[in-house]
Structure 1
Amino acid sequence: MSNNEQAAGRNGSQPRSDAWKTALTVLQSAKPPFVPEGADAMTVLVEFPPGDPGTPPHRHSGPAFGYMLEGEMLFELEGEPERAIKAGETFWEPGGDVIHYQDGNNRTDTRSRFLVTMLCAPGQPMLTLVDDEELAQRRHLRAPRPGA
């Protein structure tokens, strides 16, 4: 019996690979806020055409974790400066009361695509738009923006 036959074992299964030992790369590590019992999880694909401003200011009922697949997103959370997230980079937000101001396509020559996994508080929507009155009341919590 050859070594491969011995490695496969008597049940005819394929030999095991050691590739799994180096296959994992940690792209992001975060300590999210408390996730309530009964929360729902969903993963969504978001695609915006070139130059699209994205979702209006909003919040999520729980934390969200994302990965930029293609293009570039202008990302801004309440209290943090806006930043460009490029393909292959990750992002996250705590959800809850924090306003997510920007997620639009930062490029005019290509679409943007990103995946987001969200944990939604029970009985609450995944995304809630923030009205102009609340934006005005919380203006002092928004980080200074270049050119604004």
Structure 2
Amino acid sequence: MSTDHGHHIDYPDSTAPPPRLEVVATVPGAPPAPEGAEAMTILVTLPPGSPGAPPHRHSGPAYGYVIKGEIVFELEGEPERVVKAGEAFWEPGGDVIHYQDGNHLTDEESAFVVTMFCAPGQPMLTVVSAEELEARRDRRAPR
């Protein structure tokens, strides 16, 4: 994700300072949302040490921003990484397995906001079976 878009808005009739717009992240070439997708924004709060959701997938892309703490984030084919407060993440959805989204901290909460573009009539999250995880084991980055 890149962040090389700077923005400034002039507001000539205001005596207060103008708003500051800061691009946190962009996703060049991001996959399109499923046709007729429902955009859904959720707040996820993880208690200390929470493993988060079990391995799962989403029917469309998801874009998130960590607002507090640190999360462990791992997508199929990518090494796990820690995303800290003030940082963003994204996943393409579809067939890609999202292995981890747990709290990296054992002594405090972590929280993130995520906007997902869900295919109509499909749940926002589908848990992946143990059998499928085993069948796709070679697609997970070495740990």
TM-score by structure 1 length? 0.84
- 2:6 aligned partner: none
Work out the CA distance in 2 between the residues paired with 1:48 and 1:91: 16
Please give the residue correspondences for 1:80-91 in structure 2 after superposition, counting only pairs within 5 Å.
80-91=78-89
Please give the residue correspondences for 1:1-12 in structure 2 after superposition, counting only pairs within 5 Å.
none
More helix per residue: 1 or 2? 1
- 1:29 aligned partner: 26
Which amino acid in 2 is paired with 1:19?
A: P
The one of 111, 114, 121 equivalent to 1:113 is 111
Work out the CA distance in 1 between the residues paired with 2:122 and 2:109: 30
More strand per residue: 1 or 2? 2
In structure 1, stretches of 5+ residues that fail to align are 1-13
In structure 2, stretches of 5+ residues that fail to align are 1-11
TM-score by structure 2 length? 0.87
Please give the residue correspondences for 1:136-147 in structure 2 after superposition, counting only pairs within 5 Å.
136-145=134-143
Percent identical residues = 65
User: How much has 1:18 moved relative to structure 2?
Assistant: 6.3
Query: Could you list the runs of 4 or more consecutive aligned residues of structure 1 that deviate by over 4 angstroms after TM superposition?
Result: none
Task: Specify the SS of the correspondent of 1:24.
Answer: strand
What is the number of residues matched between the two proteins? 130
CA-based RMSD of the aligned residues comes to 1.4
